[in-house]
Structure 1
Amino acid sequence: MKNFVFHNPTKIVFGRGTIPKIGEEIKNAGIRKMLFLYGGGSIKKNGVYDQVVDSLKKHGIEWVEVSGVKPNPVLSKVHEAVEVAKKEKVEAVLGVGGGSVVDSAKAVAAGALYEGDIWDAFIGKYQIEKALPIFDVLTISATGTEMNGNAVITNEKTKEKYGVSSKALYPKVSIIDPSVQFTLPKEQTVYGAVDAISHILEYYFDGSSPEISNEIAEGTIRTIMKMTERLIEKPDDYEARANLAWSATIALNGTMAVGRRGGEWACHRIEHSLSALYDIAHGAGLAIVFPAWMKYVYRKNPAQFERFAKKIFGFEGEGEELILKGIEAFKNWLKKVGAPVSLKDAGIPEEDIDKIVDNVMLLVEKNLKPKGASLGRIMVLEREDVREILKLAAK
């Protein structure tokens, strides 16, 4: 087990009926005026907007609104909200929605205190060391952004989808009421679950194998799979929603990273090119990429892939036959719950593979290399490796 420091500064308020607490939390932080950022109309249809507004009014919090954040959040909306935040001299940012809204809130919170273009932080020209305080009310469990310092934004002009990470971007308080997710479309529940499982697997397959972290990861993956199947059958199953929601949070709040090597992250970075170029859901793209990556790299870490097959699916045996059986079982589960498992499933032509590879390698040059990072850990992927993985993912 590697040495580690575990510190997460985000306060979580979890459970049914917790949204009205947001105003109190903001007031207790000494905030008087804030930017209220959200997406489309869903929070007005499910009552979340009214609960938030009532709470802000009750506790004397002023706010200005910016709406219209997309599921794959774009830089132009961040720019718009940064301009409003600066003009209105807000003291904090409140994101109400899913991971896209919260990631946008983080970028806005940092951009409000930066004189240049906040995109600089995503291409290695600026290190985020300060941001306005961030609060959120989460309405979709998937990305784990409610309890980490990460944000991913797409520059829609250049078709670049890059991530940034900073201690300054951890939310101060996140409210998670699983009951507001009862009305989510099946696809959003499934893609959220795939995203959460993928976060766990990025750590699980990074070449480390601490027993306690393995056991926590495997138990959480099995829980996510079980809860997802329950929610497909009964979307308003509160216990299933609650277990899935908390699983998604701990998938990327540092818990899965304990004693490991920092995570693999090749699949996420390859997927970022899929959603940047084709605007597909992040979870859908991960369902396409992950099984193909597993099939391509398993020889670099065979013991862990054997363990995956045994612990997640209960298979017995050893060696390549067991490993491939486990990978196929994972792909079949993804298919079973309705996720695409090939480029073809997502309507992406195989002829586009070179274009996707070019986009991935641009990310390596502009987003990874400035940070001293590489594409992959157990196997550093070069251009030809990415092409071969995408070929495996094609059909």
Structure 2
Amino acid sequence: MQNFDYHTPTRLIFGKDVIKELPEVMNQFGKKILLTYGGGSIKKIGLYDKVKELLKDFDIYELSGIEPNPKYDPSVLDGVKMCKENDVDVILAVGGGSVLDCSKAIAAGAKYDGDPWDLISYQVKAKDALPIVDIITLAATGSEYDAGGVISRTETNDKIGYVDPLLFPAVSFLDPTYTFTVSKKQTAAGCADAMNHIMEQYFCEDSTLLNDGFMEAGLKSLMINAKKCLDNPEDYNARAEMMLTCTYGCNGIYSLGNSQSGWPLHGMEHALSAYYDITHGEGLAIITPRWMKHVLSEKTVDRFVKYGVNVFNIDPSLDKMDIANKAIEETYKFFESINIPMHLREVGIDESRIDEMAHHVAINEGLDEAWVPLQEKDISDIFRASL
């Protein structure tokens, strides 16, 4: 078991109608708020009007139009500019994980005098950041309970996971009813994203029985409840459990004491969605079973056996390689069963830039130190197998 230093400062306020506590929470941080949100879904479900009414005594500045793969330019730069020009006290992010990811970069950039990309690209360490409160409307990324976010820079095809302890949200509001209207496509993609957050931590060299059980239960919870949500979008208990399982995704609680895996799936998918702007969860689902096939060996088979037996209830008396291959097949079949496209060509990616993307990943993501090290050829082979 590995040493660790763990601290999660985020306050979670979970359940139906908890937004009524918003004014009291926001008062702790000041009167000038930057309200960030995406394409307008919060207006369709009435959440925007509810927030504005609850915060009628505050000064609110709005940054809308944040993209599903949030962009450095314009969203981060515009948000930083608004915070500085209006002396904003606190950011309120309302929407999915992308809105919150973008808001985290804005929070750090607002307290920095230079180019915010210096912070995102780790050239400079942030010394301060604005406090962040969020109201999450999509179960997926877990950004509401972690210290990081992913930001894309279109002109260089960079998609960087920016992590800093200063970026933990101060308070996260989690009302499962706000996920009732999430489309089937985004519900499925959110499930795939959250499953991959768990699998990135599960497939590692050194783990514990406690963590394995927690993660195996998380995977089963996501698979069972995602299907319930797709069958009945207003199933409160299914939406609630799926939301909480997603929330635990990236704050480290699933894998305290485990060795690091290197997060190879996210490292590879970041190139796919940076180059082609595809849905992140779909990209992950497509490459996951191909990565599994690629790294399966006599050295790794026992990990896949445990995964197959405990997550998919595969007969433990079978040959180990048979169990591992059945587990990979079941992973593919589950993603397919929730109508995720399972080939890159289905989401508009052909062979033309495979080698370019593989080179980009190999140079920028450090996957040569992953649980199973991946070199440039390994990455291109996985991409090609996913076509």
Aligned to 2:344: 343
1:80 Cα deviation after fit: 0.7
SS of 1:6's partner is: coil
1:379 Cα deviation after fit: 1.8
Q: 2 CA distance for matches of 1:261 and 1:127?
A: 25
Pick which of 346-355 and 43-52 moved more: 346-355
Q: Pairwise CA RMSD of aligned residues?
A: 1.3
SS of 2:344's partner is: coil
Q: 1 CA distance for matches of 2:241 and 2:167?
A: 25
Q: How does 1:76-115 map to 2 (within 5 A)?
A: 76=73, 77-115=75-113
Matched AA of 1:356: M
Question: Is 1:306 paired with 2:299?
Answer: no
Question: Is 1:330 paired with 2:331?
Answer: yes
Q: 1 CA distance for matches of 2:197 and 2:165?
A: 19
Q: How does 1:142-161 map to 2 (within 5 A)?
A: 142-161=140-159
CA deviation map 1:290-324 (0-9, x unaligned): 11111111224221111011011110123211101
CA deviation map 1:334-353 (0-9, x unaligned): 01101122212222113331
Aligned to 1:371: none
Aligned to 1:264: 262
1:235 Cα deviation after fit: 0.6
Aligned to 1:50: 49
SS of 1:206's partner is: coil
1:63 Cα deviation after fit: 1.5
CA deviation map 1:186-215 (0-9, x unaligned): 011000010100000000002122000000
Aligned to 1:136: 134
When the two structures are superposed, what TM-score results if normalisation uses the length of structure 2?
0.96
Aligned to 1:290: 288
1:61 Cα deviation after fit: 2.3
Query: Where do 5+ consecutive residues of structure 2 fail to align?
Result: none
Q: 2 CA distance for matches of 1:175 and 1:190?
A: 22
Q: In the alignment, is the contact (CA less than 8 A) between 1:266 and 1:376 conserved in 2?
A: no
State the 4+ residue runs in structure 1 displaced beyond 6 angstroms.
Answer: none
SS of 2:152's partner is: strand
Q: 1 CA distance for matches of 2:371 and 2:304?
A: 12
1:41 Cα deviation after fit: 1.1
Q: In the alignment, is the contact (CA less than 8 A) between 1:340 and 1:346 conserved in 2?
A: yes
Pick which of 346-355 and 111-120 moved more: 346-355
Q: In the alignment, is the contact (CA less than 8 A) between 1:23 and 1:52 conserved in 2?
A: no
Q: In the alignment, is the contact (CA less than 8 A) between 1:191 and 1:281 conserved in 2?
A: yes
Aligned to 2:23: 23
1:37 Cα deviation after fit: 0.7
Q: In the alignment, is the contact (CA less than 8 A) between 1:162 and 1:363 conserved in 2?
A: no
SS of 2:151's partner is: strand
Q: 1 CA distance for matches of 2:127 and 2:287?
A: 33
Q: 2 CA distance for matches of 1:284 and 1:313?
A: 21
Question: Is 1:70 paired with 2:61?
Answer: no
Aligned to 1:194: 192
Q: How does 1:180-329 map to 2 (within 5 A)?
A: 180-299=178-297, 300-316=299-315, 317-329=318-330
Matched AA of 1:189: T
Q: 2 CA distance for matches of 1:114 and 1:160?
A: 21
Aligned to 1:389: 382
Aligned to 1:9: 9
SS of 1:95's partner is: strand
SS of 1:34's partner is: strand
1:362 Cα deviation after fit: 4.2
Q: In the alignment, is the contact (CA less than 8 A) between 1:44 and 1:50 conserved in 2?
A: yes
CA deviation map 1:89-108 (0-9, x unaligned): 10111111100000011000
Matched AA of 1:72: N
When the two structures are superposed, what TM-score results if normalisation uses the length of structure 1?
0.94
Q: In the alignment, is the contact (CA less than 8 A) between 2:200 and 2:263 conserved in 1?
A: yes
Question: Is 1:38 paired with 2:40?
Answer: no
Pick which of 167-176 and 200-209 moved more: 200-209
Query: Where do 5+ consecutive residues of structure 1 fail to align?
Result: 369-373
In structure 2, the CA distance between the partners of 1:232 and 1:100, relative to structure 1 (3 Å rule), is same
